[in-house]
Every structure is written in C-alpha cells, then in structure tokens.
A and B are shown apart, each in its own frame.
Chain A
C-alpha cells in the first residue's frame, strides 16, 4: 500500500504539515517495501486552486491513502474521484503518522473542511 503524508521537510523525521494544498513536501511511503520518496510541492505558491493541483500531483503517484491535517472541498472531490482515502494525521512527525496509521489509530476524513484553511 502507498501512503502520502504532507510534510514540512523531505525526511521521515520531518515535522508533519497540517495543510494539504500548500504543504512544502509530499512523502510517498510504501508500506510493503518500507521505502519512501520526497516530492517537493510546486503548488504552494499558486494563486488559486493549490489543493486541486496538489491532489492531481499525488494521484499521479498512485497512492492509496493520504494523511494530512485539513483538506478542502475541491481537493477532496479530485481524490474521491480516484477512491483515495484521506486520514487525519495526529502525530508530530511523518514517521509517527505512518506508525499510527499502521496501528489503525488514525481516523478517516470523509467530509472536506473549509476552503482556504491553509492560506
């Protein structure tokens, strides 16, 4: 299974980022191989629709699950279209969130939050 965690940095020890559309990095983590990739998010300085751009970006990485803090309605619509589940991260680092997810301790976000929360 492939997870995407929003992050402030490019390592597993980096601080977890609450924002989705404008997070600095996406950490793509494979739960089977335990390997990860850090992708810089180029949508951070979009004037509009950062969430839509970011959602397309992570969809293109064939992820199964997204772990983030808050997610807006437009991004949620894009992710729902590809059946990607979204979980609310509660750990302080990327790694902590991966561990919490694997222990089944994160709750799923079924409804989008308010737009522009991460502005």
Chain B
C-alpha cells in the first residue's frame, strides 16, 4: 500500500505530516516504512533520526566517445535532443549533465565509437530509529549540482515493499520529480495551507492526481479563519477533506528543533489521530 503525501506548494508541512503519520501508523501496524522522495532536500531523517544501516550508490549511464574511433561525423550530436554531445572538426565532447540517458547516440554512431560509463549522482540510505523500532526509514539523496532527481527517485522506488504500508514524502511542486514519486500510489494526501498561494498550487496538484487517476483527499494544515478558501474549492470540486491541523506556535517551535510532535503535542496528536482514522476508513489498512 503506497500512500503519497504531496502539496503543490512548498512549506505546507508535508514532512511534518509524513513523519508523524508514519510513526502513528507504526504503532498500530506491523510493517510501516517512511520514504523521503524529496531527494534535493531530504529532511525527514532530521525528525525520525534513524541510524543509517545501509547505503546504496545511484549511478546514471552516460556516453563516452572513443576519440581514436570517432570520425567526427556528427551523427550523434545532430540526433541528440538535449544538446549533450558536441562534435566539431577537432573535438568531441560529452556534456554529462545534459544527458538524459536515452541511448540514441549509441545506436546513431556508425563506427561504434560510443560506449557507456557510469556516473555517481546520489545515494539511497536506510535504517531504523531506536525509539521507533517498528518503522523502516528510507531516503534518496541527490548530489549537489545534479540537474535531475528522477534517477534517484526511480532507484528509491525499488525499495517499496508491497506487503508494507509505505508513506511517500514527495518533493514540493508538481514537476517530473513529483509525478515520478506519486504515480502508482494507492492514495494521495494533499497537504495545503489556507492561503491564496496554497489554493493556487493545490489546484495544480489536483490536476496532476486526476490525470494520474489516483484517489486523494485534502488535509488543511496551519488551519485558521481563512480555511473557507480551501473548503469552498473542495466542495465545488467534490474533494474529500480528511481533516485540519490548526496553526500553532508550539508546533512551529518543536519543528524548528527537529522534534517529533506525535505523542508530545496533545493537540497535534488528537488531530492526527482523527486524520489517520479518516484515512483508515478509506483504505482498509
């Protein structure tokens, strides 16, 4: 069972909800795993504090041109849609970061001068926290300066266990990285805040989920008297509201210290419990 948590807008509280919900579910279910797919800035481990037990490097294939064999014909460069290869009369250069690993250049080369090499772009880490023995935690980490997190996201997806309840903490926004994370989810929780920006980005995320045909519900975080802008939208669009978590200075304080809220903040725990039971009703966990 894959439950993805996304938001459209950054800073709405995806990681707060994902980490605390993971802990809450791990108290009642046997196999629960938390996955941090926000590979550019994975910060879920700050809260879960797992010891890193395994580490797996992620590689990407890139072409290498054998200058002895290359005739500088330029076929590979002409066909490359990403301008990742430059062929000029005296030089051939591969721009590794522009390469999308489509494999066309290998086929295009008439003299087989192009071979594959592997380039390390990130890693997958996993472990368990000693305070939360029932919860497995995984995260993808993209190396700084890498243009696309998608290969790390794909590598992290291989660790999803069909027999487990997997909580997928998605990257912010609605880019390729988000779509790669949430596709194949059984359910998505859309975390939003009751602001115009929150609503704007929520609408885009809703379009994405409807396109991917994933069932979803909305969670209003930092709830206040402006909730109506989200509520009215959800009512018009016939979208489920799973629950609300009120804005609280106490929560912000704990978050800034990297503290977990569940079982330590009474208000938060009560609200999350209600949300989890709404979720359980829909998903038969």
Interface size class of B (residues with CB under 8 A): 10 to 19
Interface string of B92-119 (1 = CB under 8 A from A): 0101001000000000000000000000
Select one of A43, A48, A81 contacting B91, CB under 8 A: A81
Q: How far is the CA of A81 from the CA of B160 in the complex (A)?
A: 46
Q: How far is the CA of A59 from the CA of B91 in the complex (A)?
A: 11
Chain B residues whose CB sits within 8 angstroms of the CB of A49 once the complex forms:
82-84, 95, 98
| Known A48-B98, A56-B88, A59-B88: A81·B93 in contact at CB below 8 Å | yes
Instruction: Give residues 25-58 of A contacting B (CB, 8 Å).
Output: 43, 46-50, 52-53, 55-56
Q: Which 9 A-B pairs have the closest CB atoms?
A: A49-B83, A81-B91, A52-B83, A59-B88, A53-B83, A78-B86, A49-B98, A52-B86, A82-B88
Chain B residues whose CB sits within 8 angstroms of the CB of A82 once the complex forms:
88-91
| Known A56-B88, A59-B88, A78-B88: A50·B83 in contact at CB below 8 Å | yes
Is the CB of A74 closer than 8 A to any CB of chain B? Answer: yes
Interface of A is mostly: helix
Closest to B84 in A: A49
> Which residue among B74, B86, B90 has the maximum number of chain A CB atoms within 10 Å of its CB?
B86
Is the CB of B87 closer than 8 A to any CB of chain A? Answer: yes
Chain B residues whose CB sits within 8 angstroms of the CB of A53 once the complex forms:
83
Is the CB of A107 closer than 8 A to any CB of chain B? Answer: no
Chain A residues whose CB sits within 8 angstroms of the CB of B91 once the complex forms:
78, 81-82
